[in-house]
Amino acid sequence: MSPLATRIDALLPQTQCAKCGYEGCRPYAEAIANAEADIDQCPPGGDEGVAKLAALLGRPAKRLDATRGEFLPPRVALIDESQCIGCVKCIQACPVDAIVGASKLMHTVIAGWCTGCELCIPPCPVDCIALVPVPALPDPDLSRQRHGFRAARLAREAAEHAARMLEREG
Ligand code: SF4
Ligand code: SF4
Ligand code: SF4
């Protein structure tokens, strides 16, 4: 990341919800730094977040682009474990690995890691995930770190899968 993108990323809420149109906060920060995206695209940051970006970049303040979504108070996901069928679809969708569970077993959200991004809700086939209000979301630094851990895990699993395929072919 360029130094400017790093400074922009430091102002983003690290929800990793993709509502900005990018697959996470870091790529959105890079797009702003490269003048490929506007500063008003992050609903979790709200008008205040847009104002911080405007101040950093020396631009006039503006309102959040409402077509991206609305600013909401902090909420985290809660799974109704009595309904969960253990399909793991929510785990696959979670950008910060905040859900634990295994195939055909009940799943649970680790509330202290959940950013309330909502990405686990549409894939759930039994609609057993709700968002509940909380006093505050996790520290953005923790969410940034967990998003990085997940990216590293996915890269490691892809490399292991490729190696197994090669072994079978050989
Ligand atoms: S919090 Fe969501 S909308 Fe805001 S920059 Fe991060 S991924 Fe994009
Ligand atoms: S548990 Fe759901 S709402 Fe919470 S971070 Fe993961 S995908 Fe987002
Ligand atoms: S997507 Fe829904 S049913 Fe599937 S494991 Fe997650 S909470 Fe359970």
Rounded CA gap, 62 and 44, in Å?
A: 15
Q: Ligand 3 — pocket residues by CB below 6 A?
A: 79, 84-90, 101, 107, 123-126, 128-129
Q: Which residue has the tokens 């990216």?
A: 151
73-170 in CATH: which number?
Answer: 3.30.70.20
pLDDT for 39-96, tens place per residue?
A: 999 999 999 999 999 999 999 999 999 999 999 999 999 999 999 999 999 999 999 9
Count CA atoms within 13 Å of residue 157 on its CB side: 7
pLDDT band at 158 (very low <50, low <70, confident <90, very high): very high
Atom of ligand 1 nearest to the CA of 69: 3
In 3-state terms, what secondary structure has residue 109? Answer: strand
Count CB atoms within 10 A of the CB of residue 128.
Answer: 17
CATH fold label, 3-68: 3-methyladenine DNA Glycosylase II; Chain A, domain 3 (1.10.15)
Extents of the domains making up the chain = 3-68, 73-170
Q: Evaluate whether 71 touches 46 at the Cβ level (below 8 Å).
A: yes
Indicate whether residue 16 lines ligand 1 (CB < 6 A). yes
pLDDT for 92-150, tens place per residue?
A: 999 999 999 888 888 899 999 999 999 999 999 999 999 999 999 999 999 999 999 99
- What is this structure's pTM? 0.93
Rounded CA gap, 149 and 144, in Å?
A: 9
Atom of ligand 3 nearest to the CA of 123: 1
Structure tokens at 113: 């890691």
Q: Are strands 108-109 and 99-100 parallel, antiparallel or unpaired?
A: antiparallel
